[in-house]
Structure 1
Amino acid sequence: MRDYYQLMDDSRIAQKVKPQGLRKEDSFAQLPPVSILDVAEHSFNEYTDWLEKPVPMMSQQMKSIIEKYNPRIQWKCVHLIDKRSGSQNVYWVMQIPTLDCLSQDSEFYLNGTVKRLVLDHEKIKAHHFFAIEGILEPYIVVSLDVAESLLRRSYTGFVLQKVEQA
């Protein structure tokens, strides 16, 4: 049985760049093929490889790895413009495939949020990068293979938390 990890925002990075003009409610279909967005002005903006907010997006380098594991993911380009420094960085928003893979052992709070996440390894099969279907939170999961590929290259902006399986 292959291990899986939740891909989560690294909250230890205080000055992570914040794209302006996107809302978490914006669906992938609503986005144009190419977007140009300003970033919030700080004295210093750290451009990490993974940005979870307002919508999940990743750097060109990280995208090249994820594409190897799931070539069918659809992408839309986002240019982040820092007017203060005059810099431009390219990120990619993806339509993350969803997978109905929750185990019956998963537990939920009364408001419907996940208390204990347990994946059904039979339903996952050989998937490497996916979002979990049927829950309120946008949990993004990667296989051990993807996790090792990302960590070997020292990509930034995320932490990995092992996900329980039944």
Structure 2
Amino acid sequence: MDYFIMKTDRRLRLLPQIQFSKEGIGTNVMKQSIAYVKEYTGRCIDYPDYLEKPYPLIADKYRKILQKYQQDMDLQRVMLIEKESGKQTPYCLICPAEIVCADSSQSQYDKKGNVQEFVLDVEKTEGRKIFMAKDFNREVVVRLDIAESILRREANGIWFEPVKIAGRSR
């Protein structure tokens, strides 16, 4: 099975600059947080279906898809609010399991021990379909079937970057 790193499409120009409320993530009883978006006077902000930073956020419409594929993954609702206009955009914070999953013999490391070229060891994924590669910049990794399911629903602003798999020649 193939795997992909989920990314925000780099072609988008004006992404939301997000500041989370003082309560922070996960402190609300209903597991919903509020984040404020910095507004740009007279300019329209691009709201892609996936935001990598400051935390991995996916559009709320994909919540059921992700839960279907990885039932034990925590998804927390986050409302992005533009203070001036009052515009509200619902997202979900993706909280997958963090797994050390780089193949130590095929991945390439720098002098500090950071992974430079990531090669996935599928055995270390523990059968998970969505996870965070703890040893590769905490990137969100999804299996092919999830990427296809998201793309079939006309995803906007999501880019899937293929991951090299240990033991395969590509």
After TM superposition, the score normalised by the length of structure 2 is 0.84
How much has 1:75 moved relative to structure 2? 2.3
- Judge conservation of contact 1:130–1:141 (CA < 8 Å) in 2: yes
Q: Secondary structure at the match of 1:46?
A: coil
Tell me the C-alpha RMSD between the 2 structures.
Answer: 2.1
Aligned partners of 1:116 and 1:12: how far apart in 2? 23
Q: Secondary structure at the match of 1:64?
A: helix
**Matched pairs, number:** 160
Equivalent position of 2:148 in the other structure: 148
**What letter corresponds to residue 123 of structure 2 in structure 1?**
E
Aligned partners of 2:80 and 2:112: how far apart in 1? 35
Alignment of 1:121-160 (within 5 A): 121-124=122-125, 126-133=127-134, 135=135, 137-160=137-160
- Judge conservation of contact 2:8–2:48 (CA < 8 Å) in 1: no
Structure 1, unpaired ranges of 5+: none
User: Deviations 1:72-126 (Å, cap 9, x if unpaired)?
Assistant: 1112221111133321111111321122322121111123332110111223353
User: Deviations 1:26-52 (Å, cap 9, x if unpaired)?
Assistant: 8x66x5422222201122112211111
Structure 2, unpaired ranges of 5+: none
Equivalent position of 2:93 in the other structure: 93
Equivalent position of 1:56 in the other structure: 56
How much has 1:136 moved relative to structure 2? 5.5
- Judge conservation of contact 2:16–2:45 (CA < 8 Å) in 1: yes
Equivalent position of 1:12 in the other structure: 11
Equivalent position of 1:37 in the other structure: 35
Equivalent position of 1:117 in the other structure: 118
**What letter corresponds to residue 38 of structure 2 in structure 1?**
A
Q: Secondary structure at the match of 2:64?
A: helix
After TM superposition, the score normalised by the length of structure 1 is 0.85
- Judge conservation of contact 1:62–1:155 (CA < 8 Å) in 2: no
How much has 1:14 moved relative to structure 2? 0.9
User: Deviations 1:133-158 (Å, cap 9, x if unpaired)?
Assistant: 3x261111110101111111121232
Equivalent position of 2:68 in the other structure: 68
Q: Secondary structure at the match of 1:103?
A: coil
**What letter corresponds to residue 127 of structure 1 in structure 2?**
R
Aligned partners of 2:57 and 2:37: how far apart in 1? 14
How much has 1:64 moved relative to structure 2? 1.8
Aligned partners of 1:111 and 1:15: how far apart in 2? 34
Q: Secondary structure at the match of 1:91?
A: strand
Identity of counterpart residues, as a percentage?
31
How much has 1:132 moved relative to structure 2? 1.4
- Judge conservation of contact 1:112–1:136 (CA < 8 Å) in 2: no
**What letter corresponds to residue 144 of structure 2 in structure 1?**
L
